[in-house]
Amino acid sequence: MSDLEDKPNLKDKVYSESEVHEKLQSLLPHWYLEDGWIRRKYKTSGWKGTLMVVNTIGHLAEAAWHHPDLTVSYAFVIVKLCTHSAKGITSKDFELAKKIEEVIQWQPNQENPNSALEGTPNEDPRFKYIKYD
């Protein structure tokens, strides 16, 4: 039996407000706690970029079987995570937030200057779609 089977509520442990702030500061510095949700605003360069961010988050959420609330506008997307069944912030929220952050903020040429993947040419407004941090 695994640790999660021995302790079925371990994955749904609700973190205290101070624990949430600590985890956000160390793991997800662009995320914040507000009204019982961890949140992040991604700024885009317009509707095309917004749809790409929404679809990426949608894929990750469905694959994780943990679904955020989204606020979608022309040039931004706000992601809100909370585990409804646990009535609070759990490891599920932090893990999905971390994966969303990794994928949305990924810039291959920043990660590895020698990468064969050059990344989106942000200097040209025809191609820019997200405003990286």
| Residues paired with 43 in a beta bridge | 76
* Candidate CATH numbers 3.40.50.1000, 3.40.50.1100, 3.30.1360.20, 1.10.10.10; the one for domain 3-105: 3.30.1360.20
pLDDT (mean) for 56-70: 98
Do 23 and 94 meet the contact criterion of CB atoms below 8 Å apart? yes
Amino acid at 103: V
List pLDDT tens digits, range 71-86.
999 999 999 999 999 9
Do 76 and 44 meet the contact criterion of CB atoms below 8 Å apart? yes
- Which pLDDT score is estimated for 126? 86
**DSSP, res 37:** E
- Which pLDDT score is estimated for 6? 44
Domain ranges, ordered by start, for the chain: 3-105
- Which pLDDT score is estimated for 59? 98
